[in-house]
Amino acid sequence: MKKQWWHGKTAYQIYPKSFFDTNGDGIGDLQGVIRKLDYLKDLGVDIVWLSPCYVSPLADQGYDIADYYAIDPRFGTMEDMDQLLAEAKKRDMYILMDLVVNHCSDEHEWFKKACEDPFGKYGKYFYIEQVKDGKLPCNWRSYFGGPVWEKLPGHDDLYYLHVFHKKQPDLNWENPELREEIYKMMNWWLDRGLAGFRIDAIINIKKALPFKDYPADREDGLCSVHNMLHEAKGVGVFLGEMRDRTFKPHNSFSVGEVFNEKEEELPDFIGDDGYFSSMFDFAETVFGQSGDGWHASSGITPDDYRNCVFATQRKIGQIGYISNIIENHDEPRGVSRYIPEGEATPAAKKMLATVYFLLRGLPWIYQGQEIGMENIKLNSIDEVDDISSIDNYKVALAAGVSEKEALHMIELYGRDNARTPFQWNASENAGFTTGTPWLRVNPNYTQINLAAQKDDPDSIFQYYRALSRLRKDPAYQETLVYGAFIPYLEDHHNVMAYLRRTDDQTILVIANYQTQPQTLPLPGKVNRILLANTGNVSIQNGQIDLEGYQAVVLELGNVIQ
């Protein structure tokens, strides 16, 4: 694997709407991001991905773009964006935007023109089909529920495709003119100083055509889009073209939201000349998911979590560089999901931080993760904003789940969990806004907030800083960034341990993933304790006594393996 400028960096995701509001309208803004750049720098962050802040009706919180060349006034102006790019540059930081090009908004000019003239130039930017006798072109279910076909406004016999929400019409990537528009737009941003993109839902850009039905998998008579994606061939042609026309000439960074990649295609995706610089590991994210909906999902145990993560690490090997996360804006909080209920103490949160952050790959922190933010409790479905949660709630009720259980299901899996405002301090609205926050602040902000942790050497925040510093320490960087990943004690229940190894150095990350203590053998002599999430590290006779949820990072000598 060729070394790249970004391999040793720390990356961070900002969900602008919930990060920091500077104008009191209850919505976070770009000035808020600028205001917090020094905070991020101090945390150790180099690369910042902003979830969408383009002009949008926000039907899917900005993942429905109405103008790719303008900032939504709720987030600020293009001047704010330019200022952000300049301020980031001053601090050696890199800004990424979200590239949402599987679909745009139904309020985008292209779609409006397509409605005016479905058989003209812009009609060909979308998938528009004639419908006879009410029979839709295929029976796919959109990711947010219901059929993927919606009547084209102004035309009774024409329908357009939307694999996500009906306000997110799919763009037709088979059309070279559309592709040119996208590359032009990407280069416009990259020329402006953007360091790259996070690429949204990208596997969906290739459809298996012609449209056809697959066996229905629920009582609604529809089927998951995954049936089609499984059969769709040739996404690489589009992605290779995109790389050559945009990322490559700019030496920019790209990280793909890639679900359903085929293992044999990994080198094509993130190998040395891959379509993307990196892509997220979602193995643990999708674990336990059910095609029937969230209500049928199963939880994930510490052993499952380890097995998922290790499987990815093995699969990637030296092929490329994966991006490691415990949460993002579509997922519940990592500490609420990967630590068994009732056990998410500060020590456990730091343990989870240790075991994912030091894996081989680029570590990402999602806003608020660095202070241990947790899922939010719900009193009623009326408190829920997320369209996906609302759809899954309906699906659950239709399947006979009680309202109480369905609400609890949203507490476990809902996307609002990660979207509640950042908890800056213990003042009203967690210091996020002086106005009324667009989404409820998690009431636990009086305990969990940055101000309470900032200067506490034992805080979760300070621990994340230490992790980032350790990974960048010249004495360990080569091993922690590039060293091989070797599982250790893989069959031990509730243990997550691995070696990071180069010819010259071995580092052991070892964690006790439960409340009861465990004594574990060490694979070599300990040269140095590099980091521990609790004060006492007890090592004797080639063994380590780990307290509940203790995680320790050790530099070893003479390892026999």
Binding site for ligand NOJ (CB under 6 A): 60, 63, 100, 164, 200-201, 257, 329-330
* Minimum CB distance to ligand NOJ, residue 64 (Å): 7
What Å distances lie between residue 1 and 4, 213, 513, CA to CA? Answer: 9, 42, 32
Q: Which residue is nearest to ligand NOJ (CB)?
A: 63
383 noted as active-site residue: no
Specify the residue, 63 or 432, whose C-beta has the smaller distance to ligand NOJ.
63
Question: Position of tokens 């239709």?
Answer: 398
**Strand bridging mode 495-501 / 54-55:** unpaired
Nearer to ligand NOJ, 93 or 201 (CB): 201
Using an 8 Å Cβ cutoff, are 81 and 128 in contact? no
Handedness of CA 34, 37, 40, 45 (dihedral sign): positive
- Residue whose CB is less far from ligand NOJ, 56 or 505: 56
Instruction: Check 46, 80, 257, 374 and give the catalytic one.
Output: 257
User: Pick from 40, 36, 68: which is nearest to 52 by CA?
Assistant: 68
Least distance in angstroms from the C-beta of 261 to ligand NOJ: 15
**Contacts of 70-73 spanning 24+ positions with Cβ under 8 A:** 71/30
Backbone angles phi, psi at 238, to 5 degrees: -65, -45
CA distance 269 to 382: 41
Give the number of C-alpha atoms closer than 13 A to the C-alpha of residue 399, restricted to the C-beta side: 16
- Looking at the DSSP bridge assignments, the partners of residue 95 are 48
Residue owning tokens 């996070």: 198
Compute the least distance from the CB of residue 290 to ligand NOJ, in Å: 19
Q: Which is nearer to ligand NOJ, 306 or 415 (CB)?
A: 415
Would you call 200 a catalytic residue per the annotation? yes
| Of 171 and 201, CB closest to ligand NOJ | 201
Counted residue by residue, the chain has a size of 561
Q: How many Cβ atoms from other residues are within 10 Å of residue 149's Cβ?
A: 22
Residue pair 356/309 in contact by the 8 Å Cβ criterion: yes
Q: Which helix or strand (DSSP H or E) is residue 98 part of?
A: strand 94-99
Closest distance to ligand NOJ from the beta carbon of 257 (Å):
6
Kindly tell me which of 424 and 438 has the beta carbon lying closer to ligand NOJ.
Answer: 438
Active-site residue identified among 150, 200, 281, 370:
200
Cβ of residue 203: shortest distance to ligand NOJ, in angstroms? 11
Give the position of tokens 């602008």.
16
Nearest distance, CB of residue 400 and ligand NOJ, angstroms: 27
Q: Which residues are catalytic?
A: 200, 257
